[in-house]
Amino acid sequence: MAQATETFYEVIRRQGITRRSFTRFCSLTAASLGLAPAAAPRIAHALETKPRLPIIWMHGLECTCCSESFIRSAHPLAKDVVLSMISLDYDDTLMAAAGHQAEAILDDIRTKYKGGYVLAVEGNPPLNEDGMYCIDGGKPFVEKLKAMAADSLAVVAWGSCASWGCVQAAKPNPTQAVPIDRVIRDKPVIKVPGCPPIAEVMTGVISYITTFGRLPELDRQGRPKMFYSQRIHDKCYRRASFDAGQFVEEWDDEGARKGYCLYKMGCRGPTTYNACSTVRWNDGVSFPIQSGHGCIGCSEQGFWDNGPFYDRLSNVRQFGIEANADRVGGVVAGVVAAGVVAHAAVTAVTRLTKKR
Protein backbone atom coordinates (compact mmCIF):
# COMPACT_ATOMS: atom_id res chain seq x y z
CA MET A 1 0.00 0.00 0.00
CA ALA A 2 2.99 2.25 0.52
CA GLN A 3 3.26 3.00 -3.17
CA ALA A 4 0.10 5.03 -2.98
CA THR A 5 2.20 7.95 -1.81
CA GLU A 6 5.32 7.18 -3.81
CA THR A 7 6.14 9.60 -6.53
CA PHE A 8 6.74 8.51 -10.10
CA TYR A 9 10.42 9.21 -9.51
CA GLU A 10 10.51 7.09 -6.38
CA VAL A 11 8.78 4.26 -8.14
CA ILE A 12 11.26 4.17 -11.00
CA ARG A 13 14.21 4.55 -8.61
CA ARG A 14 12.86 1.56 -6.75
CA GLN A 15 12.80 -0.29 -10.08
CA GLY A 16 16.54 0.36 -10.36
CA ILE A 17 16.56 3.32 -12.73
CA THR A 18 19.43 5.69 -11.96
CA ARG A 19 19.09 9.41 -11.40
CA ARG A 20 21.19 9.91 -14.50
CA SER A 21 18.88 7.80 -16.66
CA PHE A 22 15.95 9.61 -15.20
CA THR A 23 17.22 13.07 -16.16
CA ARG A 24 18.15 11.72 -19.55
CA PHE A 25 14.60 10.39 -19.96
CA CYS A 26 13.27 13.83 -19.11
CA SER A 27 15.41 15.63 -21.65
CA LEU A 28 14.73 13.02 -24.34
CA THR A 29 11.06 13.32 -23.62
CA ALA A 30 11.29 17.08 -23.89
CA ALA A 31 13.17 16.75 -27.18
CA SER A 32 10.74 14.20 -28.58
CA LEU A 33 7.91 16.55 -27.75
CA GLY A 34 9.63 19.36 -29.57
CA LEU A 35 9.84 21.33 -26.34
CA ALA A 36 12.65 23.70 -25.48
CA PRO A 37 15.50 22.20 -23.40
CA ALA A 38 14.20 24.29 -20.51
CA ALA A 39 11.18 22.05 -20.40
CA ALA A 40 13.21 19.06 -19.26
CA PRO A 41 13.61 20.19 -15.65
CA ARG A 42 9.92 20.96 -15.55
CA ILE A 43 9.05 17.45 -16.65
CA ALA A 44 11.54 16.08 -14.14
CA HIS A 45 10.02 18.22 -11.43
CA ALA A 46 6.54 17.00 -12.26
CA LEU A 47 7.57 13.37 -12.17
CA GLU A 48 9.58 13.78 -8.98
CA THR A 49 6.98 15.60 -6.99
CA LYS A 50 3.82 14.08 -8.34
CA PRO A 51 3.10 10.70 -6.93
CA ARG A 52 1.31 9.24 -9.88
CA LEU A 53 1.37 9.91 -13.61
CA PRO A 54 -1.74 11.89 -14.49
CA ILE A 55 -3.79 10.29 -17.23
CA ILE A 56 -6.59 11.95 -19.13
CA TRP A 57 -8.80 9.36 -20.78
CA MET A 58 -11.06 10.80 -23.45
CA HIS A 59 -13.84 9.21 -25.47
CA GLY A 60 -14.73 10.04 -29.05
CA LEU A 61 -16.87 7.92 -31.34
CA GLU A 62 -16.52 4.53 -29.71
CA CYS A 63 -18.40 1.80 -27.91
CA THR A 64 -16.55 1.86 -24.54
CA CYS A 65 -15.25 -1.69 -25.11
CA CYS A 66 -11.73 -0.44 -24.41
CA SER A 67 -12.70 0.90 -20.98
CA GLU A 68 -14.55 -2.32 -20.29
CA SER A 69 -11.51 -4.31 -21.31
CA PHE A 70 -9.21 -2.17 -19.17
CA ILE A 71 -11.14 -2.97 -16.01
CA ARG A 72 -10.86 -6.71 -16.82
CA SER A 73 -7.11 -6.60 -16.21
CA ALA A 74 -5.98 -9.36 -13.85
CA HIS A 75 -2.34 -8.36 -13.50
CA PRO A 76 -2.15 -5.64 -12.49
CA LEU A 77 -5.68 -5.35 -11.19
CA ALA A 78 -7.49 -2.34 -12.59
CA LYS A 79 -8.07 -1.02 -9.07
CA ASP A 80 -4.34 -1.12 -8.35
CA VAL A 81 -3.57 0.71 -11.55
CA VAL A 82 -6.06 3.42 -10.66
CA LEU A 83 -5.19 3.66 -6.98
CA SER A 84 -1.43 3.19 -7.09
CA MET A 85 0.11 3.54 -10.54
CA ILE A 86 -1.55 6.39 -12.30
CA SER A 87 -3.82 9.24 -11.47
CA LEU A 88 -6.85 8.76 -13.67
CA ASP A 89 -7.91 12.35 -13.39
CA TYR A 90 -10.41 12.30 -16.21
CA ASP A 91 -12.33 9.37 -17.63
CA ASP A 92 -15.92 9.89 -18.80
CA THR A 93 -16.81 6.31 -17.97
CA LEU A 94 -15.57 6.10 -14.40
CA MET A 95 -15.27 9.60 -13.01
CA ALA A 96 -17.60 10.83 -10.31
CA ALA A 97 -17.84 14.38 -11.57
CA ALA A 98 -19.97 15.47 -14.53
CA GLY A 99 -20.67 18.58 -16.58
CA HIS A 100 -18.80 21.73 -15.55
CA GLN A 101 -17.02 19.95 -12.75
CA ALA A 102 -15.64 17.42 -15.23
CA GLU A 103 -14.68 20.08 -17.76
CA ALA A 104 -12.86 22.02 -15.07
CA ILE A 105 -10.54 19.07 -14.47
CA LEU A 106 -9.31 19.22 -18.04
CA ASP A 107 -8.37 22.87 -17.77
CA ASP A 108 -6.70 22.29 -14.45
CA ILE A 109 -4.59 19.37 -15.69
CA ARG A 110 -3.56 21.24 -18.81
CA THR A 111 -2.20 24.12 -16.81
CA LYS A 112 -0.76 22.30 -13.84
CA TYR A 113 0.79 19.37 -15.67
CA LYS A 114 1.70 20.97 -18.99
CA GLY A 115 3.82 18.41 -20.84
CA GLY A 116 3.54 16.05 -17.91
CA TYR A 117 0.37 14.04 -18.43
CA VAL A 118 -0.48 11.21 -20.75
CA LEU A 119 -3.52 11.55 -22.96
CA ALA A 120 -5.31 8.25 -23.52
CA VAL A 121 -7.88 8.29 -26.26
CA GLU A 122 -10.63 5.77 -26.77
CA GLY A 123 -12.58 6.25 -29.98
CA ASN A 124 -11.94 8.76 -32.67
CA PRO A 125 -13.08 12.14 -33.93
CA PRO A 126 -15.54 12.50 -36.82
CA LEU A 127 -14.68 15.37 -39.15
CA ASN A 128 -17.91 15.67 -41.14
CA GLU A 129 -20.55 18.24 -40.18
CA ASP A 130 -17.83 20.37 -38.51
CA GLY A 131 -17.18 17.55 -36.10
CA MET A 132 -20.65 17.74 -34.60
CA TYR A 133 -21.28 14.01 -34.93
CA CYS A 134 -19.52 13.82 -31.60
CA ILE A 135 -20.33 16.72 -29.32
CA ASP A 136 -18.65 17.12 -25.97
CA GLY A 137 -19.48 20.06 -23.76
CA GLY A 138 -21.41 21.65 -26.62
CA LYS A 139 -18.37 21.63 -28.89
CA PRO A 140 -16.91 19.21 -31.43
CA PHE A 141 -14.93 16.45 -29.74
CA VAL A 142 -12.08 16.97 -32.18
CA GLU A 143 -11.38 20.43 -30.73
CA LYS A 144 -11.15 19.10 -27.21
CA LEU A 145 -8.93 16.27 -28.42
CA LYS A 146 -6.49 18.60 -30.15
CA ALA A 147 -6.36 20.95 -27.19
CA MET A 148 -5.63 18.20 -24.69
CA ALA A 149 -3.06 16.58 -26.99
CA ALA A 150 -1.19 19.84 -27.43
CA ASP A 151 0.01 19.94 -23.83
CA SER A 152 0.42 16.22 -23.22
CA LEU A 153 3.60 14.23 -22.73
CA ALA A 154 2.49 11.45 -25.04
CA VAL A 155 -0.70 10.04 -26.46
CA VAL A 156 -1.99 6.52 -26.14
CA ALA A 157 -4.44 5.41 -28.82
CA TRP A 158 -6.62 2.79 -27.19
CA GLY A 159 -8.11 0.25 -29.51
CA SER A 160 -8.76 0.09 -33.20
CA CYS A 161 -10.97 3.21 -33.23
CA ALA A 162 -8.24 5.55 -32.09
CA SER A 163 -5.52 3.62 -33.93
CA TRP A 164 -7.13 2.91 -37.30
CA GLY A 165 -10.71 4.20 -37.35
CA CYS A 166 -12.49 0.89 -36.73
CA VAL A 167 -16.14 0.25 -37.39
CA GLN A 168 -17.43 3.80 -37.86
CA ALA A 169 -14.62 4.37 -40.38
CA ALA A 170 -15.56 1.25 -42.36
CA LYS A 171 -16.78 2.03 -45.85
CA PRO A 172 -18.45 4.38 -46.57
CA ASN A 173 -17.34 6.04 -43.30
CA PRO A 174 -20.43 8.27 -43.04
CA THR A 175 -19.10 10.56 -40.32
CA GLN A 176 -15.57 10.70 -41.72
CA ALA A 177 -14.17 9.29 -38.53
CA VAL A 178 -10.37 9.34 -38.59
CA PRO A 179 -7.63 7.76 -36.49
CA ILE A 180 -6.36 10.20 -33.90
CA ASP A 181 -2.91 10.54 -35.46
CA ARG A 182 -4.62 12.25 -38.37
CA VAL A 183 -5.38 15.19 -36.10
CA ILE A 184 -2.56 14.84 -33.57
CA ARG A 185 0.61 15.34 -35.57
CA ASP A 186 3.19 16.58 -33.12
CA LYS A 187 3.11 14.04 -30.29
CA PRO A 188 4.30 10.49 -30.01
CA VAL A 189 1.20 8.30 -30.45
CA ILE A 190 1.37 4.80 -29.02
CA LYS A 191 -1.16 2.66 -30.84
CA VAL A 192 -2.68 -0.17 -28.88
CA PRO A 193 -5.08 -1.63 -31.44
CA GLY A 194 -7.71 -4.32 -30.98
CA CYS A 195 -11.45 -4.26 -30.64
CA PRO A 196 -10.88 -4.06 -27.80
CA PRO A 197 -7.19 -4.57 -26.92
CA ILE A 198 -6.44 -7.33 -24.42
CA ALA A 199 -6.83 -6.02 -20.86
CA GLU A 200 -3.33 -7.02 -19.76
CA VAL A 201 -1.86 -5.46 -22.88
CA MET A 202 -3.51 -2.17 -21.96
CA THR A 203 -2.37 -2.17 -18.36
CA GLY A 204 0.96 -3.54 -19.59
CA VAL A 205 1.56 -0.49 -21.76
CA ILE A 206 0.67 1.87 -18.90
CA SER A 207 2.76 0.04 -16.34
CA TYR A 208 5.68 -0.18 -18.78
CA ILE A 209 5.74 3.61 -18.86
CA THR A 210 5.47 4.01 -15.10
CA THR A 211 7.89 1.17 -14.34
CA PHE A 212 10.68 1.80 -16.82
CA GLY A 213 10.20 5.52 -17.10
CA ARG A 214 10.11 5.55 -20.87
CA LEU A 215 7.74 4.96 -23.72
CA PRO A 216 7.72 1.43 -25.13
CA GLU A 217 9.56 0.67 -28.35
CA LEU A 218 7.17 0.91 -31.27
CA ASP A 219 7.03 -0.92 -34.57
CA ARG A 220 6.65 0.51 -38.06
CA GLN A 221 2.96 1.10 -37.47
CA GLY A 222 3.35 2.70 -34.07
CA ARG A 223 2.40 -0.32 -31.96
CA PRO A 224 4.38 -1.50 -28.94
CA LYS A 225 6.72 -4.19 -30.28
CA MET A 226 6.40 -6.22 -27.13
CA PHE A 227 2.79 -7.15 -27.86
CA TYR A 228 2.32 -6.66 -31.58
CA SER A 229 5.32 -8.10 -33.38
CA GLN A 230 3.97 -11.58 -33.98
CA ARG A 231 0.88 -12.89 -35.59
CA ILE A 232 -1.78 -14.83 -33.74
CA HIS A 233 -1.03 -17.60 -36.23
CA ASP A 234 2.63 -17.78 -35.22
CA LYS A 235 1.82 -18.84 -31.68
CA CYS A 236 -1.55 -20.48 -32.24
CA TYR A 237 -1.95 -23.82 -30.48
CA ARG A 238 -3.81 -25.05 -33.59
CA ARG A 239 -0.81 -24.32 -35.81
CA ALA A 240 0.09 -28.00 -35.97
CA SER A 241 -3.26 -28.70 -37.63
CA PHE A 242 -2.59 -25.95 -40.14
CA ASP A 243 0.72 -27.47 -41.17
CA ALA A 244 -0.73 -30.97 -41.18
CA GLY A 245 -3.58 -29.90 -43.43
CA GLN A 246 -6.37 -30.47 -40.91
CA PHE A 247 -9.11 -27.91 -41.14
CA VAL A 248 -12.56 -27.26 -39.81
CA GLU A 249 -14.65 -27.67 -42.95
CA GLU A 250 -18.01 -26.82 -41.45
CA TRP A 251 -19.22 -25.50 -38.12
CA ASP A 252 -19.54 -28.13 -35.42
CA ASP A 253 -18.07 -30.85 -37.65
CA GLU A 254 -15.62 -33.49 -36.52
CA GLY A 255 -12.72 -31.11 -37.12
CA ALA A 256 -14.34 -28.37 -35.05
CA ARG A 257 -14.76 -30.75 -32.14
CA LYS A 258 -11.18 -31.96 -32.49
CA GLY A 259 -9.83 -28.43 -32.54
CA TYR A 260 -8.57 -28.36 -36.13
CA CYS A 261 -7.32 -25.19 -37.77
CA LEU A 262 -10.00 -22.57 -38.57
CA TYR A 263 -8.19 -21.32 -41.68
CA LYS A 264 -10.94 -22.46 -44.05
CA MET A 265 -13.56 -20.78 -41.88
CA GLY A 266 -11.88 -17.47 -42.65
CA CYS A 267 -9.61 -17.18 -39.60
CA ARG A 268 -7.52 -13.99 -39.87
CA GLY A 269 -4.89 -15.31 -37.45
CA PRO A 270 -2.31 -15.44 -40.26
CA THR A 271 -2.68 -11.72 -40.92
CA THR A 272 -3.26 -10.38 -37.45
CA TYR A 273 -0.56 -9.01 -35.17
CA ASN A 274 -1.66 -9.35 -31.59
CA ALA A 275 -0.93 -11.26 -28.41
CA CYS A 276 -4.21 -13.22 -28.24
CA SER A 277 -2.67 -16.65 -28.77
CA THR A 278 -0.04 -16.06 -26.08
CA VAL A 279 -1.42 -13.67 -23.45
CA ARG A 280 -4.98 -14.85 -24.19
CA TRP A 281 -8.09 -13.19 -22.88
CA ASN A 282 -9.55 -12.52 -19.46
CA ASP A 283 -6.74 -13.76 -17.29
CA GLY A 284 -5.61 -16.30 -19.88
CA VAL A 285 -8.88 -18.24 -20.01
CA SER A 286 -9.21 -18.52 -23.79
CA PHE A 287 -9.05 -16.64 -27.04
CA PRO A 288 -11.35 -16.65 -30.05
CA ILE A 289 -9.72 -19.59 -31.84
CA GLN A 290 -9.66 -21.70 -28.69
CA SER A 291 -13.39 -21.13 -28.38
CA GLY A 292 -14.01 -22.30 -31.91
CA HIS A 293 -14.35 -19.08 -33.89
CA GLY A 294 -11.75 -17.76 -36.29
CA CYS A 295 -9.95 -14.53 -35.56
CA ILE A 296 -11.66 -11.61 -37.31
CA GLY A 297 -8.44 -9.58 -37.30
CA CYS A 298 -9.79 -6.86 -35.01
CA SER A 299 -6.40 -5.29 -34.32
CA GLU A 300 -5.60 -4.77 -38.01
CA GLN A 301 -6.13 -1.62 -39.97
CA GLY A 302 -9.27 -1.71 -42.08
CA PHE A 303 -10.23 -5.21 -40.97
CA TRP A 304 -13.92 -4.41 -41.36
CA ASP A 305 -13.45 -3.94 -45.08
CA ASN A 306 -11.53 -7.19 -45.48
CA GLY A 307 -14.57 -9.38 -45.14
CA PRO A 308 -16.47 -11.54 -45.37
CA PHE A 309 -15.12 -12.87 -42.09
CA TYR A 310 -15.95 -16.45 -43.00
CA ASP A 311 -14.04 -16.56 -46.27
CA ARG A 312 -10.32 -17.19 -46.43
CA LEU A 313 -10.02 -14.62 -49.21
CA SER A 314 -11.20 -11.08 -48.78
CA ASN A 315 -13.68 -9.63 -51.19
CA VAL A 316 -12.33 -7.19 -53.70
CA ARG A 317 -14.61 -4.26 -54.25
CA GLN A 318 -13.82 -2.44 -57.47
CA PHE A 319 -15.86 -1.21 -60.39
CA GLY A 320 -19.09 -2.20 -58.69
CA ILE A 321 -18.05 -5.83 -58.44
CA GLU A 322 -17.68 -7.59 -55.14
CA ALA A 323 -16.09 -11.01 -55.09
CA ASN A 324 -12.95 -12.64 -53.79
CA ALA A 325 -9.71 -13.01 -55.75
CA ASP A 326 -10.43 -16.58 -56.82
CA ARG A 327 -13.83 -15.66 -58.20
CA VAL A 328 -12.53 -12.52 -59.94
CA GLY A 329 -9.44 -14.31 -61.27
CA GLY A 330 -11.34 -17.47 -62.18
CA VAL A 331 -13.81 -15.47 -64.24
CA VAL A 332 -11.09 -13.45 -65.96
CA ALA A 333 -8.99 -16.54 -66.71
CA GLY A 334 -12.10 -18.40 -67.88
CA VAL A 335 -13.14 -15.60 -70.21
CA VAL A 336 -9.61 -15.37 -71.59
CA ALA A 337 -9.43 -19.13 -72.10
CA ALA A 338 -12.77 -19.06 -73.89
CA GLY A 339 -11.50 -16.16 -75.99
CA VAL A 340 -8.41 -18.14 -76.85
CA VAL A 341 -10.47 -21.12 -77.97
CA ALA A 342 -12.68 -18.88 -80.08
CA HIS A 343 -9.65 -17.13 -81.52
CA ALA A 344 -8.05 -20.45 -82.35
CA ALA A 345 -11.23 -21.56 -84.06
CA VAL A 346 -11.43 -18.41 -86.15
CA THR A 347 -7.74 -18.77 -86.97
CA ALA A 348 -8.27 -22.34 -88.12
CA VAL A 349 -11.28 -21.42 -90.23
CA THR A 350 -9.46 -18.48 -91.81
CA ARG A 351 -6.48 -20.66 -92.57
CA LEU A 352 -8.57 -23.40 -94.10
CA THR A 353 -10.60 -21.01 -96.22
CA LYS A 354 -7.44 -19.30 -97.40
CA LYS A 355 -5.79 -22.58 -98.36
CA ARG A 356 -8.80 -23.52 -100.35
Residues 211-240 that bind another protein (CB under 8 A): 219-221, 225, 229-231, 234, 237-238, 240
CA-angle at 165, arms to 285 and 275, nearest 5°: 25
Q: Of 260, 332, 265, which Cα lies nearest the Cα of 290?
A: 260
Which residues contact residue 195 at a Cβ distance below 8 angstroms, ignoring those fewer than 6 apart?
Answer: 65, 159, 160, 161, 166, 167, 298, 299
183 binds another protein (CB under 8 A): no
CB of residue 176 vs another protein: minimum separation in angstroms? 7
For the CA atoms of 33, 193, 52, 34, the dihedral, rounded to the nearest 10 degrees, stands at 0
CB of residue 202 vs another protein: minimum separation in angstroms? 12
64 binds another protein (CB under 8 A): yes
CB of residue 22 vs another protein: minimum separation in angstroms? 20
SS3 state of residue 85 = helix
321 binds another protein (CB under 8 A): no
Q: Of 275, 293, 277, 298, which Cα lies nearest the Cα of 194?
A: 298
CB of residue 188 vs another protein: minimum separation in angstroms? 18
Calpha distance 174→169 (Å, rounded): 7
Q: Which among 16-24, 36-44, 80-88, 208-216 is the span making contact with another protein, rule CB under 8 A?
A: 80-88
> How many binding residues for another protein (CB under 8 A)?
157
- How far from 15 is each of 118, 136, 209, CA to CA, in Å? 21, 39, 12
CB of residue 113 vs another protein: minimum separation in angstroms? 10
50 binds another protein (CB under 8 A): yes
Does residue 172 have a cis bond before it (omega within 30 degrees)?
yes
Near another protein by CB under 8 A: residue from 34, 252, 352, 355:
252
Q: Which among 14-22, 33-41, 170-178, 182-190 is the span making contact with another protein, rule CB under 8 A?
A: 170-178
Near another protein by CB under 8 A: residue from 31, 36, 321, 337:
337
Q: Of 181, 198, 197, which Cα lies nearest the Cα of 189?
A: 181
CB of residue 155 vs another protein: minimum separation in angstroms? 19
Report 257-316 residues binding another protein (CB under 8 A): 257-260, 263-264, 268, 270-271, 276, 281-283, 285-293, 296-298, 300-304, 306-310, 312-314, 316
Near another protein by CB under 8 A: residue from 13, 24, 72, 214:
72
Near another protein by CB under 8 A: residue from 28, 35, 105, 226:
105
SS3 state of residue 222 = coil
Contact 264, 214 (CB under 8 A): no
168 binds another protein (CB under 8 A): yes
Residue closer to another protein by CB (options 18, 112) is 112
350 binds another protein (CB under 8 A): yes
Calpha distance 66→24 (Å, rounded): 33
Q: How many residues does the chain have?
A: 356
SS3 state of residue 58 = strand
Q: Which among 44-52, 147-155, 180-188, 207-215 is the span making contact with another protein, rule CB under 8 A?
A: 44-52
Report 83-102 residues binding another protein (CB under 8 A): 83, 86-89, 91-102
Q: Which among 13-21, 23-31, 210-218, 343-351 is the span making contact with another protein, rule CB under 8 A?
A: 343-351
User: CB-hemisphere CA count at 13 Å for 244?
Assistant: 13
Sign of CA dihedral 148, 149, 153, 155: positive
Residue closer to another protein by CB (options 23, 282) is 282
Report 118-147 residues binding another protein (CB under 8 A): 126, 128-141, 143
Residue closer to another protein by CB (options 147, 285) is 285
For the CA atoms of 234, 301, 222, 282, the dihedral, rounded to the nearest 10 degrees, stands at -60
